[in-house]
Amino acid sequence: MAITQPTRAVDRHRAVLGLTIGAALVTIALTGGAFWLSYEALHDLALDHHLTGARAWAWPATLDGFVISGELLVLRASLMRRLDWLAMILVATGSAGSIILNVVSVGSRVDTTTQVVAAIPPTAALLAFSALMRQLYRALAGLPVEPQPPLARQSAPAETELTPVIIPALPPRPTTPPALPPVTYADPRCEAIRRLYDGGRRPGTSTMRTALEQAGYGTLSDGLIRGTLRAEVERLEPVLETYPPEKQLRAA
């Protein structure tokens, strides 16, 4: 009995979902173990430098907190389609400090292998936590955006008489972007990419490659398509960069 196409699609979806959940669980376990090893090394370093009791336990958290807060801010900025340099500096500062101090904790009179062993936990924690944030970003990016509820009018006290104010209804938002003046491109391949923005979305690499091949320009590399041709189109018309990504509109 032949397997139908819908059955194959369901099986593929289940396999992808299972692998995603498994990868997330392994990443969480790896992140927790790496952070624990790094935290213990920093705690021992604090004890060796006259910090005792609660202070020895709190001191490593001030360093690892840079990494955690920075990663969460990077995730927040990514969902808002922004670039948060301060968050990246927090991640870089906390990670570099954790790696260096983990190596320092084993002392200077040890072999290179011992220093590498000390550097592995904070490095693994950084990579695992970054992978976890990436999976979380992909999961949140695929959710549809919920419309904001209208503001409710507050009722005035019974003893106060107010003159009713009629608020005119806002005009409906256009479903298509406003027409833009024509732009002349030095590279004619940009014209094939510019036409893809007429649907009100920012095209992805696969869509742009298909349009270029249909226009007779052959198969081009991803770097040329995104970094040169699309970048030139959005440089001359910056408003195009604010269009919602193609994948988000399909998910909605």
Considering the entire predicted model, what is its pTM? 0.41
Q: Which helix (H) or strand (E) holds 202?
A: none
User: What pLDDT score does 184 carry?
Assistant: 80
User: What pLDDT score does 30 carry?
Assistant: 75
**Predicted confidence (pLDDT) per residue in 62-91, tens digit:** 777 777 888 788 878 877 777 788 888 888
Q: Which residues contact 90 (CB under 8 A, 6 or more apart)?
A: 66, 67, 69, 70, 73
User: What pLDDT score does 57 carry?
Assistant: 82
- Pick the more confident residue, 86 or 16: 86
**Predicted confidence (pLDDT) per residue in 183-227, tens digit:** 788 888 888 888 888 888 888 888 889 988 888 888 888 888 888
Q: What average pLDDT does range 125-131 have in this prediction?
A: 76
Most confident of the following: 83-87, 237-241, 244-248: 237-241
| Eight-state DSSP code of residue 228 | I
User: What pLDDT score does 249 carry?
Assistant: 46
Number of Cβ within 10 Å of residue 238's Cβ equals: 8
Q: Which amino acid is at 252?
A: A
What is the Rg, in whole angstroms, of the alpha carbon atoms belonging to the chain? 27
Domain spans, the chain: 10-141, 189-251
User: What pLDDT score does 171 carry?
Assistant: 58
Most confident of the following: 9-13, 18-22, 85-89, 181-185: 85-89
Q: Which residues contact 230 (CB under 8 A, 6 or more apart)?
A: 193, 203, 208
User: What pLDDT score does 117 carry?
Assistant: 82
Structure tokens at 28: 């969480």
**Predicted confidence (pLDDT) per residue in 24-37, tens digit:** 788 788 777 777 87
The DSSP annotation for 23-54 comes to: HHHHHHHHHHHHHHHHHHHHHHHHHHTT--TH
User: What pLDDT score does 141 carry?
Assistant: 64
Q: What average pLDDT does range 101-117 have in this prediction?
A: 79
User: What pLDDT score does 155 carry?
Assistant: 52
| pLDDT(173) > 60 | no
C-alpha span between 3 and 9 (Å, rounded):
10
Please identify which residue in the block is written with the tokens 């072999």: 111
- Pick the more confident residue, 76 or 3: 76
C-alpha span between 79 and 145 (Å, rounded):
11
pLDDT band at residue 251 using 50, 70 and 90 as cut-offs? very low
C-alpha span between 77 and 73 (Å, rounded):
6
| pLDDT(154) > 60 | no
Which of 49, 128, 59, 64 has its CA nearest to residue 98?
64
C-alpha span between 215 and 71 (Å, rounded):
42
Q: Which helix (H) or strand (E) holds 82?
A: none
